[in-house]
Structure 1
Amino acid sequence: MSIQDKSRALMVRQHQQVKNRQQSMLMRAAQEIGLPEETSHYWNPIQGKVEPTTRMIYGSSNAAMS
């Protein structure tokens, strides 16, 4: 696998992780306040890019759970 392929795979994986985290948090919040489950399927990237604030909130961090 070339470096370009590895970097693309890394970006795609990170993009998917951010999307999954955001949708998980939306689903939990929707369940807590009694909204329909469809609310958690919200995903609105602009031209396939994750908004910087969304990436900051839902992206991975250096903190780890023990």
Structure 2
Amino acid sequence: MSIQEKSRALMVRQYHQIKNRQQSMMMRAAQELGLPEEASQYWNPIQGKVEHTTRMIYGSSHASMS
């Protein structure tokens, strides 16, 4: 696997992790508020890129769980 393929795979994996985190948190909030499940399926990347604030909130951090 070349460097370009590895970096692309890493970017794709991070993109999907951010999307999954955001949607799971929105699902929990929708359930707590009694909203329909469709409210948790919101995903609006701009031109296929994750917004900076979304990446900061839902992206992986360097903190670990014990």
Q: CA RMSD in A?
A: 0.3
- Name 1:30's counterpart in structure 2: 30
Q: Which amino acid in 1 is paired with 2:17?
A: Q
| Residue segments in structure 2 that go unaligned for 5+ positions in a row | none
1:32 shift after superposition: 0.2
Count of aligned pairs = 66
Quick one: percent identity of the two aligned structures?
Answer: 83
TM-score between the two structures when normalised by the length of structure 2: 0.99
TM-score between the two structures when normalised by the length of structure 1: 0.99
1:30 shift after superposition: 0.2
Runs of at least 4 residues off by over 6 Å? none
- Name 1:2's counterpart in structure 2: 2
The DSSP-based 3-state class of the residue aligned with 1:45 is: coil
- Name 1:62's counterpart in structure 2: 62
| Residue segments in structure 1 that go unaligned for 5+ positions in a row | none
- Name 2:49's counterpart in structure 1: 49
